[in-house]
């Protein structure tokens, strides 16, 4: 199975009036060693946090100096009212693979079951891409056993998200919550169809945040993953189902589990999904953009060299010749600290921000080079998939270690 281990933002952006520089030809620098057009900024210049960052504490929050935390809440006496209210909005997704036989006869040669949930009264249902991508015929079954045909409105394989539509009225949509507002240790509830056992409810806590393909082995490395981890029991068939907070709001879409583990599951943060929804509803797919760099995490040695007190940002390992970053004068060894006015913690978050920036859009990038910090404008190009990015996202079930 092919592996793609670099975090790549490719590829060529060609603009009118720009001198073409061949690979290996040096970019011009000014007397300060910065690209032409770069603007020096003080290290303390403020920036907004990216949506994927954990929310910062309010400056007015009173912290208990002894415990450094508020009082621990007891487990709810029952999740029954939450489950009863949410359950009508949870559906079974049936994806059938149809084969056309000689003479035009058709027959079903495969069938898969997953989970989804209504999020809009117009009949819009969210689920995982891997639940529906192989299906030639998709239908939705409600809690009252009504089964109706569904149409795929849009899907995105790299984020493993899909939207389907049903022509039904009087639906019970679930509210989409704020996945940045839920904390590790908070209670969560999962509803789904594990092993075909429809409308199974399980409860647990949010175990961790920010899990990537490095933590969940077997995922497509070219995908975009910033999973919420939970110990609420989810199994094969839970794919596409909601992960709820105690208000009954959806904070994640259950998507994967750890093989040979007890109750280690992963959900796509709903805030990531919210960013994709307008694009999927409008275009049916996501056309991703790219900076034109290959980046790594900022390691301890680089942080020390740059005299940084943290390791946030993305270390530029390679600049793709002819790409937007190359034309803007970025160099290997630079550290990208902010994208279009938003800070980020690691390269995975930069990949996400750059991928949704928009092909042809010009954004401001904050960069540290040696002891200087500057901002430069970069025009984003299209993200061109590598031939090594052909692995499919895994189905819900045991993942290969």
Q: What positions carry a catalytic annotation?
A: 130, 160, 239
d(CA 364, CA 261): 43
> Taking the chain, what is the end-to-end CA distance rounded to the nearest angstrom?
13
Decide: 243 and 250 in contact? Cβ < 8 Å: yes
Q: Is the dihedral of CA 387, 389, 395, 399 positive or negative?
A: positive
Local structure of residue 194 (DSSP, 8 states): G
For 104, the token pair is 């035009």
Torsion angles phi and psi, residue 225, rounded to 5: -130, 130
d(CA 229, CA 231): 7
Q: Nearest-CA neighbor of 202 among 268, 267, 127, 119?
A: 267
Q: Is 194 exposed, middle or buried (0-12, 13-18, 19+ CB in 10 A)?
A: buried
């Amino acid at each position: 199975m092919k592996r793609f281990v670099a975090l790549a933002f490719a590829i060529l952006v060609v603009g009118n009036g720009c001198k073409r520089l061949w690979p290996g030809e040096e970019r011009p620098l000014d007397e300060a060693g910065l690209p032409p057009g770069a603007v020096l900024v003080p290290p303390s210049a403020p920036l907004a946090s990216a949506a994927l960052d954990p929310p910062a504490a309010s400056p007015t929050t009173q912290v208990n100096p002894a415990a450094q935390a508020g009082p621990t809440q007891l487990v709810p006496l029952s999740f029954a009212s939450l489950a009863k209210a949410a359950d009508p909005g949870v559906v079974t997704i049936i994806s059938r693979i149809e084969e056309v036989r000689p003479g035009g006869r058709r027959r079903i040669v495969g069938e898969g079951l997953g989970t989804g949930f209504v999020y809009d009264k117009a009949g819009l249902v969210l689920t995982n891409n891997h639940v529906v991508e192989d299906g030639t015929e998709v239908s939705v079954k409600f809690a009252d056993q009504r089964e109706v045909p569904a149409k795929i409105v849009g899907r995105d394989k790299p984020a493993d998200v899909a939207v389907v539509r049903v022509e039904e009225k009087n639906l019970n949509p679930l509210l989409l919550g704020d996945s940045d507002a839920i904390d590790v240790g908070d209670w969560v509830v999962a509803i789904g169809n594990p092993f075909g056992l429809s409308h199974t409810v399980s409860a647990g806590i949010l175990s961790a945040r920010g899990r990537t393909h490095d933590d969940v082995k077997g995922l497509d490395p070219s995908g975009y993953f910033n999973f919420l981890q939970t110990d609420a029991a989810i199994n094969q068939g839970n794919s596409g189902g909601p992960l709820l907070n105690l208000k009954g709001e959806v904070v994640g879409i259950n998507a994967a589990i750890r093989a040979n583990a007890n109750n280690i599951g992963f959900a796509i943060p709903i805030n990531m999904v919210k960013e994709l929804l307008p694009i999927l509803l409008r275009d049916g797919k996501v056309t991703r953009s790219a900076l034109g760099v290959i980046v790594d995490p900022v390691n301890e040695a680089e942080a020390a060299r740059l005299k940084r007190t943290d390791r946030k940002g993305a270390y530029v390992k390679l600049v793709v010749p002819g790409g937007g970053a190359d034309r803007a004068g970025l160099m290997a060894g630079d550290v990208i600290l902010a994208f279009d006015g938003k800070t980020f913690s690691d390269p995975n978050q930069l990949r996400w921000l750059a991928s949704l920036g928009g092909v042809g859009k010009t954004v401001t990038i904050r960069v540290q080079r040696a002891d200087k910090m500057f901002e430069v404008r970069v025009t984003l190009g299209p993200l061109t998939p590598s031939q090594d990015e052909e692995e499919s996202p895994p189905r819900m079930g045991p993942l290969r270690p």
